[in-house]
A and B are shown apart, each in its own frame.
Chain A
Amino acid sequence: MIECKIKIKLDSFILDANFSIPDRGVTVIFGPSGSGKTTLLRALAGLEENQNGYLKMGDSIWQDGENFVLTHKRRIGYVFQDAALFDHLNVQDNLDYGIKRSPNIEKAFIESIINLLDIKILLNRTTSQLSGGERQRIAIARALLIKPKILLMDEPLSALDMKRKQEILPYLDALHNDLDIPVIYVTHSAEEASRLADHLLLLDNGKVIGSGPINTMLTRFDLPMSHGKEATSLIDAIVVGREKEFDLMQLDFPGGQFTVPDNSLEVNSSVRLRVSARDVSLTKEKQIGTSILNIFPAIVDELSVEGGAQIMVRLKIKEVTLLALITRKSAEMLNLQNGVKVFAQIKSVAILS
């Protein structure tokens, strides 16, 4: 676990962060601009002055009353918003800067990171000969090459345009899937959060307003994301087969099997599906003779009146949680209440990775 109780006073802003998060997988720190996300990340790295509190990273205590482990002794990989490469060094020397200062970095490991981020052809360039996306890939590689105990990323995509973002995202997925170090990722983009997060830490105005597994957080009615037209839920699934004839593939998830358009992912690869609450409709009996392929038996978990005509329904398909946005009138016609059995018809899903 990563345990943190940190208080920082800046001019007119107080960050009071008290939380514990798993020390594996990707934790996304999510919140609006000015909520203290970057300050919190910097505090985890030991870069903020004027802070006091307690910070435990796995087995090591980085900060408590008397002790403060300095940044250069924490062995963290930190990726800044704008790459922050050293302009007085070329790409190779930028990578070597950290390697030289870390014990036991094997050649094979260096090779593997260079391959993972696909930067071999960039090594002899100067930093001014790199595009924005390339700079960020070098910065990520530089941070990973010191074999950090944790990787901290501060909105690494925010300085990039849409095209560059799409160029970097697959590498971030690769990090997620191939590396066994915890990642803490700061962003204000819901898109990035839902694609990358295992765990979500919600920050607002310097305070942690919630922390938990991403889908739980997206579907908790006491948190803002579970309301309104943009509400979505996430389902992690695995590719199990395909129907070549119709260009479809089958995905297994703990609640059943999805059939979705084939996007040529290999069998056994894991995918994350995003289901918009608006695309889920409910029926009392299982429909036959419908064009909808994905229909699952579900149990109503909780209802939340959204104001106006609509109502948000949280469903359980076995242990998987899903949101459905329907009209109040339909809810009344179906006599929806907690514990009622229904069928969830999912009109469309987005494949995130």
Chain B
Amino acid sequence: MLNEYDISALLVTIKLASVTTAILILIGTPIAWWLSQTRFKFKAVIEAIIALPLILPPTVLGFYLLMTLGTNGPLGNLLESLGGSSIAFTFTGLVVGSVIYSLPFVVQPLQNAFSSVGKQAMEVAATLGASKLDRFFTVAVPLARSGFITATVLGFAHTVGEFGVVLMIGGNIPGETGVLSIAIYDHVESMEYAQAHLLAGGLLVLSFIMLLIVYVFNRRFSIMRSDS
């Protein structure tokens, strides 16, 4: 069954995906809301930048992150001059990389959901005495809940599945930056196909279940809406 190395990889992966998803929801929500409301001229530029990780080879992203965050990178230098240390090859570095890598998977569903909430529901709330922030939390968020479910599941699943970024910036330190996808690769490299099967199959089932949740929930909401 799972050896010590596999279990630590599993734990690091779950921890990484949870922390990343939480951060993504926190920063993705305001970005998505802003994108859904703004008439900013260069909105398309921002959208394109956020969507970049969708098509960029993960190793490219990882490479640039390493260059930026590493000991000799601009951010790495800054951190060191502030008395910290470089976050390359640390769990924190992995989180930073994952957040950037999975950003579009959280922002896009949220943006779509916020757009479909529409202007009118917010205007109704305003006439009923709700301030901007109040109506955001009591009208926009609940009406966009299917978007939040999709964003959470996609953000989590996509982080679990990343490989290239992790390889470049994480360095596969067991218990710190060693994650499942790299563990699978290691097993295959050392011809331990049984172990590889176990982990790969596990990820496959997990991913399927998470997507199933998204589709079932979204369908339920869309049926509820079309009734009315």
Contact = CB atoms under 8 A, between A and B. Distances in A.
Nearest to A143: B127
A127 interface: yes
B190 interface: no
Interface in B188-228: 224-225, 227-228
Nearest to A78: B127
A72 B129 contact: yes
Contact of A97 (B120, B128, B131, B145): B128
A88 B129 contact: no
A146 B228 contact: no
Interface in A89-104: 97-98, 101-102
Given A128-B224, A128-B227, A128-B228, A86 B127 contact: no
A276 B106 CA distance: 63
A84 B142 contact: no
Nearest to B135: A72
A101 B129 contact: yes
B139 interface: yes
Contacts of B145: 88
Q: Is the interface of B mostly helix, strand, loop or mixed?
A: helix
A221 interface: no
Contacts of A77: 127
A76 interface: yes
Contact size class for A? 20 to 34
B125 interface: yes
Contact size class for B? 20 to 34
Contacts of B142: 88
Contacts, number: 63
Interface string A33-52: 00000000000010100000
A142 interface: yes
A78 B128 CA distance: 8
A101 B128 contact: yes
Contacts of A86: 121, 124-125, 139, 143
B85 interface: no
B120 A84 contact: yes
A71 B127 contact: yes
User: Which of B145, B224, B227, B228 has the most A CB atoms < 10 Å from its CB?
Assistant: B228
B143 A87 contact: yes
Contacts of A75: 129
Contact of A71 (B120, B126, B227): B126
A68 interface: no
A278 B228 CA distance: 45
Interface in A171-198: none
Nearest to B138: A97
Interface in B106-158: 120-121, 123-131, 134-135, 138-139, 142-143, 145
| 3 cross-chain pairs, A with B, having the tightest CB-CB distances, nearest first | A101-B129, A98-B128, A128-B228
18 contacts: A47-B126, A47-B127, A71-B126, A72-B125, A72-B135, A78-B124, A80-B120, A84-B120, A86-B124, A88-B142, A97-B130, A97-B138, A98-B128, A101-B129, A101-B134, A102-B129, A127-B228, A128-B224
Interface of B: 120-121, 123-131, 134-135, 138-139, 142-143, 145, 224-225, 227-228
Interface of A: 45, 47, 70-72, 75-78, 80, 84, 86-88, 97-98, 101-102, 126-128, 142-143, 146
